[in-house]
Structure 1
């Protein structure tokens, strides 16, 4: 049932799919709902009679309108074959919906689509033929769903480990598994988008991928699709949607601005370094210092560390240094990560995980996080990552 649930959610999340320029005035879906008696035995609570209703819906452009029902049919053990047909508003995504069951997305790129459904096959429960775009879409959805199940498992495992205060080494291993499964599903989508030649299917896949892609990854893939399909309305809509989301995020960031540390004096804080010596933020007064909050178990932190190392090596002779503040709770893992990532600056930690007093004092909700402090102790920037870090340091350390 998990795969069917995920597919239903995929379809619901892609109402934005538009009609393509190739107009199709009709749609016809012929097929068979197999093993109806077995389906009713497996899910008796879902069926109150000996028949099952199938409905055909057009999925409107943009998500602002409700789906439009085009046709419906009732099938039973004695009459398992069906035909769904009606007028179509151009080539687009159309859903066959099994009453109290999953959705099946189709593309009406041909005059007749053959659809066979077998809900006793819990994972790949339908086959489609005659429609190349629908076949490609089916293969993508099933493969993506299977990979998404693996991602969801790693997220649930990681949440459970954090909830029960597991050791750093176990959390790090689970985090690595999560990152690996997430990379696998994203790489799958990127490869699919690179080889697929149907803009409608590519739009569907790209829209789904926005759930797991980072904003930068998603923007890069949209740019490739825009170059590949410059006149496609679907891709244009995705670009507009993404631009709106970026604008909303920027506005939300501005709304949160009063909580920013920029322009305020940095609070003092004292913690032991790797050798047990007490080190205070105030001891760095007179230098530009980047206070970098991270942890050995934090995948994004470890991914960002090469950028931080590069910035340190470039500016360390210009009255600049870094103070690493770790949310680790296992000292050997903390020290090991410092060595492995070549973090050649001062590090402190109270080894208290999310109970660290650094969280209470600086009030950040996630890591990596950092603040850049000038020689007078005033925060002049925060949350600097990647190119933004080097750019800001170049501005202030002329």
Structure 2
């Protein structure tokens, strides 16, 4: 009997320990009805059916806060013409933070899900505060987008001249508002997250100042570490210093390190199979490789694929490498359990981006987009051709 009691207590403690690792969410969204709610959890997407606007979700949480999103199957898309079978602009989801033991509540409207209130812990409270601060501007943006689409459908030719400047002004106001929020709320988790999300809108000095102005509370998270790496990378880029080393798998699964190419001029080509301009630039890269490879020129392609899972990423990447006839070394930045995000390490915000390194691995030049004629001129000067 004593042994049974001991085992029962052990099982109970185990169940309670697992429950303590889980998050739970209860929501009520006006207009949701019995439609589906989709949460991108730590272990993939979770889908539940709402009942009379209400829903519940739960799942395992990671060791640190994880920012993800919730969406709804309620049709919130902005259709760009041709009805619901034509092109459309998807409505933004709701940002939410998952953490161990979090018990969260969501309230608002299904049609304006991205502006819903999420309460239950300080992490999500800060996100709700952030959303409330920019809600008027987000509603203005949605209104302008709707006006633009309606004008196009109606054939109003001067609509862009009238609405376009207002949209640009609105986007600038949103960015300025985010910067003000981050500066005014240094202790908020939302400030850290949105600073990491909008880092490309800051100069290197501005980004470092904004990061240093944040409270240390969340500076051990992946978002803070990513920002610190980005700041360090921007400093290197600006100074023309040595490019950060990295190791990634090639098309055969063999690890390849950037440092292996010391003694050669190396063009880092950040691309993806999905990127039209990247693929369009490949024929000229092939010409350059044929012309200069024997003289000490190397290309290292770093692919980032916009698909779910490594298997699919490898498939589309390898197909593109073969179809485009890329004979230089290519590596993938999507491997499972990624320890180094090279895109983040090199502050890549657009594709293609090309970075030329000298024989010592120092940065010679960087082009957002194809290097084109400037790259041609650099290589011609380097190899006296």
Q: Same fold by TM (over 0.5)?
A: no
**TM-score in terms of structure 1 length:** 0.40
**TM-score in terms of structure 2 length:** 0.41
Larger RCO: 1 or 2 (CA < 8 Å, sep 6+)? 1
